[in-house]
Structure 1
Amino acid sequence: MSMLIANCDHWIGFHIASVLLERSYTVDGIGDENSDLAMFLGRNSSFHFVKSDVSKQYAFAIVIGDQEGSDQFQSGYTLMINPTRKDRVSNRVIINAPLLFGEWMPMNEQGVYCNNSFITFDSDYFQTEAIYIKDFTNGLLQWLKTEELPSHLEVRSEKNKENQHVKLENAIYIRDNRPMEEKVSNVLEHYRMYSNFYENLYV
């Protein structure tokens, strides 16, 4: 199955592309070919860079944020993760994801940078809202196997379910399969191991 990832050089796009390649999908990517994360993807023979005006037919196109020309992608579904624009895209599925965290994200040893805010790992917001990127991508793989997707998906942490006073239509709650502390510890270990690389990513 052939997939298209727009903004594959974004750290979330990188994780999505990586997990699809691990599952033997053929993946085309739109992004900066010279970025460090994109170059990692380029080493895989099942990954290819394409231009935003690509005319190839895809089973799914996955867009991280916004992408010019996403209304022209030829795909069964176009999954748009946290878009800010309201482009008119046929067969569009909006995925409203909460705070995602994982390797290669903008961060330091105390927390994560997201949408011009800094959120510490020990904050109540992070502990109840955050979802580890690999838990999110595992869920995404399941959604791709669904024959008919709704136009909107609201993704939430299972911990947030108890605090949700208003029932969300099309809400999907992702359960932690490992303690949050363990996931944060692994991400911090990765950050310390590749600290110079992180600095180059977000200069």
Structure 2
Amino acid sequence: MKVLRVGPPSGRWHHRRVVLDGGPTLRLRPEDVEALGLEAGADLSEDTLRQLRSRAEAALATEMALRLLAVRLRSRRELEERLRRRRIAPEVVGGVIDRLTSEGLIDDARFARAWINSRLALRPSGGLRLRGELLRKGVAPEVIEQALREAFSETDEHQLALHVARSRARRYRAQPAEVAYRRLAGVLHRRGFSPGAIAAALRAVLGRAVVTE
């Protein structure tokens, strides 16, 4: 197969379009074009063609990952899953994720801190819920624990639970006492607050605590 044309760097990612004779137009990073020695009129061996296609797929995966990261920070596993859903080859996904990690663009510790801070600001939750959310996103337990320690060294979980309890208790003023206790306890439990924080909040807001499972 022959290269018909190699375009100049263009677009946000400065990729170059490589037009092949009888094949698709591929987009590659400038350094990949140089490494493969691609130029108009060049005949491609089977090995070079395989490398070209692999590097084009990696360029596409990198662009997709960077677009996702531009929206918000994401964990390594989140990005891996999103790229694999687009049918990017697993070995290409792994290489791209490793490179972005080495460049500091993917950092699970930074992601965990940002996730916790966002949750505490927008939807106050306890450590149990935050831990579960981050585990589902593939963050390592030790990374989660460090991020939680940092967050709750500045924010008191009992005070957060009390804030949520006070804001929600207004809804249950007309309810029988036992119903109000159960519903408010359920809210705090679903938010992932510890049993101790729930009991303290219920005592402060409703006058006594109830046991939650």
Which range, TM-score by smaller chain? under 0.3
* Structure number with higher strand proportion: 1
Normalised to the residue count of structure 2, the TM-score between the two structures is: 0.22
Comparing both chains, which one has the higher relative contact order based on Cα–Cα distances under 8 Å and sequence gaps of 6 or more? Answer: 1
Larger fraction in helix: 2
The TM-score with structure 1 as length reference comes to 0.23
Higher radius of gyration, 1 or 2? 2
